[in-house]
Amino acid sequence: MAAHLSYGRVNLNVLREAVRRELREFLDKCAGSKAIVWDEYLTGPFGLIAQYSLLKEHEVEKMFTLKGSRLPAADVKNIIFFVRPRLELMDIIAENVLSEDRRGPTRDFHILFVPRRSLLCEQRLKDLGVLGSFIHREEYSLDLIPFDGDLLSMESEGAFKQVANMMIRMKREFTGSQNSIFPIFDNLLLLDRNVDLLTPLATQLTYEGLIDEIYGIQNSYVKLPPEKFASKKQGDGGKDLPTEAKKLQLNSAEELYAEIRDKNFNAVGSVLSKKAKVISAAFEERHNAKTVGEIKQFVSQLPHMQAARGSLANHTSIAELIKDVTTSEDFFDKLTVEQEFMSGIDTDKVNSYIEDCIAQKHPLIKVLRLICLQSVCNSGLKQKVLDYYKREILQTYGYEHILTLHNLEKAGLLKPQTGGRNSYPTIRKTLRLWMDDVNEQVLFPLTIEQSPTDISYVYSGYAPLSVRLAQLLSRPGWRSIEEVLRMLPGPHFEERQPLPTGLQKKRQPGENRVTLIFFLGGVTFAEIAALRFLSQLEDGGTEYVIATTKLMNGASWLESLMEKPL
């Protein structure tokens, strides 16, 4: 059992165990030794569900990445393909199957589609003459993957999907039946990413958010430059320094990470400093251990103390890596421009910093992210400003990016300002999206306090629109902001599900409501931190469980629009 999935009000370990059970059942259908051929994209999500030890228990002896031509040699009875339902993958699978040496031992082929079977894919396999080679053709409903005790993600590349079937599935797994049961969640809030295009474009300023911004967190793991993690002996000699990236898992199973991940980065240093003193004092206690009992007690605590010291060393190194970036002049300049846009300053004209970035050919993603942020904060750019930016980008980075600019326009991220007025200032003021006196203010380090009082600390002044909507829904309700809701893209609606009298839960004094908030189109770690902040408020009244189609940041979001046409 994964303890970090069961600490919240809703035990998400139940979902993990359900999909593990399905996996075991499928593997047992394929009797005998097995080799799994992985669609590479699936290896990360599967790693959160089942380690190699579980696969080994069910006779999985080899694992390969799906590639063209022949499969590597493997003395096994079953070959199982774990793949997404994509036509281009079917072509590779057919090539694998057809290139198998028919003179060798007979093998049984199986295919497991994740998360859905596809008639189109099966037809492609039939057209290629291999469909009959597969004994089992099944689907594996890996819809929502538990990442942490309050976080679920589909890790779906396609952003907008129906979630009704998943809600029914969750209900079934939590209860084991379709019978009348007490509801797990009091409220379900579905938020389309289109409602809040601004938040992912801004630079996240929480510890976890900055790790994701700078290094990228993939399926709870991050890869970091190895030099900072070399032992002192390695560093002193200047030889044998590690060359492979340091790979670390990041979730609440690690006590220190759970404590610091949602803090504004400027508040992390003091926590690490205090932890260092506590750990140092704990190790000093060994000098006070005189009796056999005291020595025995110290020894029993040693593994935990050593783990804590290792954890502290890792996060001190990560914090140093992040600080190298956040103290740079360019980071400060970029953040200044972002915060000016979000507070409504100079959003209607060409920005000189963006001009300089283009002239110096800074990464295109960085430039696009700033221009899109300016566009969203101005309800579109004046036509001459938009045309200027487009011309500069195409002349500097190449005309092949004209399709990318088109994609950004279709997504509503980069667009000309139409006849209507700029609605962002009204939205900003009504929803209190910009806080001039936020406790943790990156641009004014002297005003930093360790205890934020508002969700705006996650962006050092800007409160995520998405999370503010969730906060206001909880209290006092959306009726108070009807005018602003009409300004936001798309329709909004509230629906109450009547419950039989016997199923209406009696709330204990001080017991919070539980809201499942589902982000369609992705969510950032900063938004997650803001929701956790609301969950922990003594008078908040609501605890949040977060689900999403994808964990993302501004860079990964724009990259998905650059990679393929919408």
Please write the tens of the pLDDT for every residue from 396-407.
999 999 999 999
- Transcribe 347-376 into DSSP letters: -SS--HHHHHHHHTT--HHHHHHHHHHHHH
Report the C-alpha gap between 492 and 472 in whole angstroms: 14
Q: What is the mean pLDDT of residues 127-134?
A: 94
CB 217 within 8 Å of CB 211: yes
pLDDT at residue 37 in the model:
96
> Is the pTM of the predicted complex or chain greater than 0.75?
yes
Confidence band of 432 (pLDDT split at 50, 70, 90): very high
pLDDT at residue 418 in the model:
84
CA 259 to chain centroid: 18
pLDDT at residue 369 in the model:
97
- 446 residue type, one letter: L
Reported as a single tens digit per residue, the pLDDT across 493-546 is 776 666 666 656 666 666 788 999 999 989 999 999 999 999 998 787 899 999
CB 443 within 8 Å of CB 335: yes
Percent over 70 (pLDDT), the chain: 84
pLDDT at residue 497 in the model:
66
Q: Is the pLDDT score of 446 beyond 60?
A: no
Q: Which of 9-18, 361-370, 496-505 has the lowest mean pLDDT?
A: 496-505
Confidence band of 124 (pLDDT split at 50, 70, 90): very high
Q: 3-class secondary structure for 374-423?
A: HHHHCCCECHHHHHHHHHHHHHHHCHHHHHHHHHHHHCCCCCECCCCCCC
- Transcribe 280-307 into DSSP letters: HHHHHGGGG--SHHHHHHHHHHHHHHHH
C-alpha torsion sign, points 128, 132, 136, 138: positive
Confidence band of 233 (pLDDT split at 50, 70, 90): low
pLDDT at residue 283 in the model:
76
Confidence band of 167 (pLDDT split at 50, 70, 90): low
Q: Is the pLDDT score of 128 beyond 70?
A: yes
pLDDT at residue 444 in the model:
45
User: Phi first, then psi: what are they for 372, rounded to 5°?
Assistant: -65, -40
pLDDT at residue 70 in the model:
86
Q: What is the mean pLDDT of residues 375-384?
A: 94
Quick one: which of 256, 460, 454 has its CA closest to 342? 460
What's the chain's average pLDDT? Answer: 86
Q: Is the pLDDT score of 213 beyond 80?
A: yes
Reported as a single tens digit per residue, the pLDDT across 56-94 is 999 999 999 999 888 888 889 999 999 999 999 999 999
Q: Which of 15-19, 180-184, 194-198, 358-362 has the lowest mean pLDDT?
A: 180-184
Reported as a single tens digit per residue, the pLDDT across 22-62 is 999 999 999 999 999 999 999 999 999 888 889 999 999 99
- 309 residue type, one letter: R
Q: Give yes or no for a cis peptide into 416 (omega within 30° of 0).
A: no
Q: Which of 60-64, 243-247, 445-449 has the lowest mean pLDDT?
A: 445-449
CB 369 within 8 Å of CB 337: no
Q: Environment class of residue 341 by beta-carbon count within 10 Å: exposed (0-12), middle (13-18) or buried (19+)?
A: buried
pLDDT at residue 264 in the model:
94
Query: Token pair for residue 90?
Result: 């079917």
Q: Is the pLDDT score of 562 beyond 60?
A: yes
CB 276 within 8 Å of CB 262: no
Q: Is the pLDDT score of 447 beyond 50?
A: no
Q: What is the mean pLDDT of residues 127-151?
A: 92
pLDDT at residue 76 in the model:
92
Q: State which H helix or E strand residue 269 sits in.
A: helix 268-284
